[in-house]
Chains A and B, each alone.
Chain A
Amino acid sequence: MTQLIVKNGIVYDPLNRIDGEKMDLAISDGKIVGKADEKKAKVIDASGMIVMPGGVDIHCHIAGSEVNAGRLLRPEDHFRDVEPKTAITRSGVGYSIPSTFTTGYRYARMGYTTIMNPSMPPLEARHTHEELDDTPMVDKASYPLLGDWWFVLEYLRDGMIKECAAHVAWIMVATKGYAIKIVNPGGLEAWGFGQNVRNIDDPVPHFNLTPKEIIRGLCKVNKLLHMPHAIHVHTNNLGKAGNYATALDTMKCVENLALEDKPVIHITHCQFSAFKGSNWRTLRSGAEEIANYVNHRRHVTLDLGQVVFTDTTTMTADGPFQYGLYQLTNNKWVNHDVETETSSGIVPFRYRRKSYVHSIQWSIGLELGLLVEDPWRIYLTTDHPNAAPFTTYPRIISWLMSRNARDLTMKRINRRARHKSLLPSIKREYSFYEIAIVTRAGQAKSLGLTQKGHLGIGADADIAIYNINPELVDPSRKYKVVRKAFENTAYTIKNGEIVAKDGKIAKPVCGKTFWVNPQLSSPIEVADDMKRRFREYWTVEYENYSIPESFLTASAPLSVKAEV
C-alpha cells in the first residue's frame, strides 16, 4: 500500500469549492483519502506551491489514423523538435504532432492526467486504441464520429430514435468510444459527392435529412443512453466568414431538449465557429453574440480552440473545410473519405501575427474565454494541433490571467485587427481558481468523469503541483512567472504515484482507457440486414469490426443505464 501526503500546498479544487486554502492531502492506493499514516507515507512538501487536480483536456487530436497521417506528412515538424531517450523514457519527435510517447510525457510535465481524443472514425478505432495504448502517463478516451454514419442517418431519416439509440450503444461498445462526436453533420456525407451543406437546414444529398435533424436526433439519443458527456459538436460551416450564425442556430436547435442544468450540447473549438462578416477582408469577431447567448442559457458548453501564433498542423474530420484551407494556403495536404462513415483532411498551417485573419482569430478565442461569464461552461483548449499544439497552454493561461500579457501580444499583431478587437475593452482577468475550472474541474464535470478533476475523498489521486505562490505572485503583472510555472509542474501525481518531478518524467506509467458501456433493457442485437451491408459496403467484415475489451491494455468501462 503506497501512501503519500502532500503537505501545506495551496489547494485549488473548484468542484469542492476550495479556493486557495492551505491544506494537506492524503493519498492511499491511488485515491484521495481522509488520513494517511504519517510514519509510513512519503511526504511532499508543497509549501508555497499551487496544488490542483490533474489537468483534463476535453479535445485534443493525439491518436488515430488521421494524426498518424499528419505525422507522415510533416517530417520537417519532427526535425525541429527532438527529444532524446533517457534511462526511463523513450525518444520522440514532433512539435505540432508529437509521437505518442512524447505526447504522454509532455502532458504529464504540464500536469495533465486525462485527455480526450475527439475524432475517431469508427473504422479506424482499432488503430486509434493502439496508439492510445502507446500514449503513456495519461488516462484517455476517444469519441467516435457519428454525425455522418450511414446507419445513424437512415434511422434518423425514418424517425427511429430508439433503434438509433440501440445502434449507437452498439457502436460505443464496438469501438470502445466515450461520447458522440458530430463533425459538420451532413456535410461530410455530402463531401463524398463533392458537395457540402451550407447551413443547418440544408438537406443532405441522398438522405433527405437536414443537419438540424441529425443534431437533434443524436442529442435525443444521447439523452436516452444517459451518456456521461453531451453531444460533442463541430459545427457546420466551420472556418467560414459569417459562421457565428450557424453556431448560434446549432445551439438554438437543441434548446428545448435541455433538462434542468445539465448541458446537452458541447460546441467544440468555438473560436473557429465565431466568425462574423461576409468574407476574409470584412471578417470580424462574433464572440460577443455567442457569449451573450451562452450567458443566458444553461444547455451549452464551449471550448476555446485558442489560436497561438506558431507553425502547426490542422487536422479535422471536416474534409470540405480542409479542402478550403488547402486552396487558401496551396500547401501540401491530405484528404480522405472514410468509406460510409466520415472524411478527414490535413493541411500544415502557420498562424502569423501580421495576418489580419489570424490576428482576428487569436482575438476571438480570448474574447470568448473572457466574455463567457461562467467558467464552468468554457474550457481551455487549442483543439490541438489545429489552432496550436497543446504545449502552448501555459501561454494561453497567462493571456487569460493578465491584461498586460494580452496588451503586449496585441501590440505585435496586425494593425487593422488590433483596431477591430474587443480585447482592449475587456478588463476581466482569470484567477487561479477560474484557471483550475477551465483546465480541469469544468472539463471533468462536463465529461461526467466523477473521479477526475477534483481532490475530494475518493477521487483518483491525479494531482498537479505547480511551483508558484499565489500569495506572492500577482499573475496580472508577473505573467511570465505564471507561464513558466504552468509549463512544468513541480510534481505530477498520477494514481498516487509521482510520475513527473521538476519538469522531468520520474516514472512512466500506463493510463486507463475509458469507454461507455450502455446497459440496454434487452441485449444489444445487430440486425442481419446490417451484417449484410457490412459485407457489401465496408472493407472490414462485421466480425472483425468490433474491438474486444481484451484489446485495450487498461480498459475502464463506464456502465450507464440507458432508457432503451
Chain B
Amino acid sequence: MITLYPKRLFKAPVDAQCIAPDIFAEKSVSEIAELQIWEGNRKRALDQLFKIECNAKNQSEEMTIRILGDARKVRRIGTKMSIGKVIIDGNIGMHLGEEMQGGTIVVAGSAGSWTGCMMKKGIIQIKGDAGDYIGAAYRGSTHGMNGGEIIIQGNAGNEVGCFMRSGLVRIDGNVGQFVGMHMRNGTIIVQGNSEGRTGAQMIGGKIVVCGHTPSILPTFTVDSIKPKVKINGEIVKGPFYKFLGDLAENGNGKLFVSQNQNPHLKFYEKYLE
C-alpha cells in the first residue's frame, strides 16, 4: 500500500492524473516520487506536493493507494484506472475516477463535481456528499456513465447521471435538480428528496425517488402505481407512482416517485381510473 500525505493545503487546483493504481503498479517508490503533476500552471514532481510512504508490498495484495489529509483541490485521481483500490481519508476534488474502467475508490469525506464521469466499470463509494454531474458525460458529449456503480451516502448536486447509458447510481441523501437528464439507460435510486425536473429528456432507463419531489415534468405520463420496485434483484418498498417519459423526446424512461412522500401528486391518480 502506498500512502500519500498532502504536504499543505493547496490553493491552486492540482491535476493529479498520475495518481492511479495502474500507473503506480509498475513503478518503484523513487519513480513514483518523480511522476509529473500540475499545481495550477506549474509543473511539479509528485513528492513536492505529497509525502509518499510505502508499506512493504505484499504480493497477494492488490495495488492500493491511500490519501490521508485534505485533498479538496486535487483533481482527476484515478483517471482511467482499471485495477486496484484508492482510499481517500478526507475530502477530494473534481473528476474523481474519470473514465474509470475498473477497481474501487472509497472516499471517507466528500467528493467534488464530475465524480465518475464517463466511467465504464468499477465502484466509487463516497461516505460524505458529492457535487454536480455525478456519472455525467463530458460537456457536449452524449456518452455518460456506461457501467459500474456509484454510491453516495450523503447528498449530491444537480444533473446526476446526465447522459447515463448503463450502470447504477445510488444516493442515500438528497439530490438537486435534473437527476437523470438525457438518460439513455441504467438506474438511479435516490433515497432522499429530489429538487425536481427529474428525468428531463430521458429516453430510457430507470429513476427511483423515495423522498419528496416538488413536481413531475409535464412531458411525463402516469402509468400505474407499483407497490415495490426491483433494482438489481433488491426490492425497494413503495408504493410508487410510475411515470413514463420524456415524451418530448419520444422517450421510454421509467420514473418511480414515492406515493407516501408526495401527497401533492395525488391528482395523477384520477388519470389511472
Q: Which residues of A contact B (CB under 8 A)?
A: 73-77, 79, 331-332
Contacts and interface: CB of A to CB of B under 8 A. Distances in A.
Interface residues of B, number: 6
B165 to A, nearest CB: 14
Interface in B141-200: 141-142
A73 B137 CA distance: 15
5 contacts: A74-B140, A75-B138, A77-B140, A331-B142, A332-B140
Contacts of B139: 75-76, 79
B152 to A, nearest CB: 25
A77 B138 CA distance: 10
Interface of B: 137-142
Nearest to A79: B138
Nearest to A78: B140
A76 B138 CA distance: 6
Contacts of A332: 140
A76 B118 CA distance: 12
- Between A73, A75, A76, A79, the greatest number of chain B beta carbons within 10 A of the residue's beta carbon is seen for A76
10 tightest A-B contacts by CB? A76-B141, A75-B140, A76-B140, A75-B139, A76-B138, A79-B138, A74-B140, A76-B139, A75-B138, A73-B140
B59 to A, nearest CB: 37
B49 to A, nearest CB: 21
Nearest to B203: A330
Contacts of A74: 140
A521 to B, nearest CB: 53
A195 B227 CA distance: 52
A341 B137 CA distance: 37
Given A74-B140, A76-B140, A331-B142, 6 more contacts: A75-B138, A75-B140, A76-B137, A76-B138, A79-B139, A79-B141
Contacts of A75: 138-141
**Which of B137, B139, B140, B141 has most chain A Cβ within 10 Å?**
B140
A256 B139 CA distance: 53
A239 B141 CA distance: 25
Contacts of A77: 140
A74 B142 CA distance: 11
A75 B139 CA distance: 6
B138 to A, nearest CB: 5
A330 to B, nearest CB: 8
A74 B141 CA distance: 8
A331 B141 CA distance: 10
A79 B98 CA distance: 13
A418 to B, nearest CB: 28
A55 to B, nearest CB: 31
A79 B138 CA distance: 9
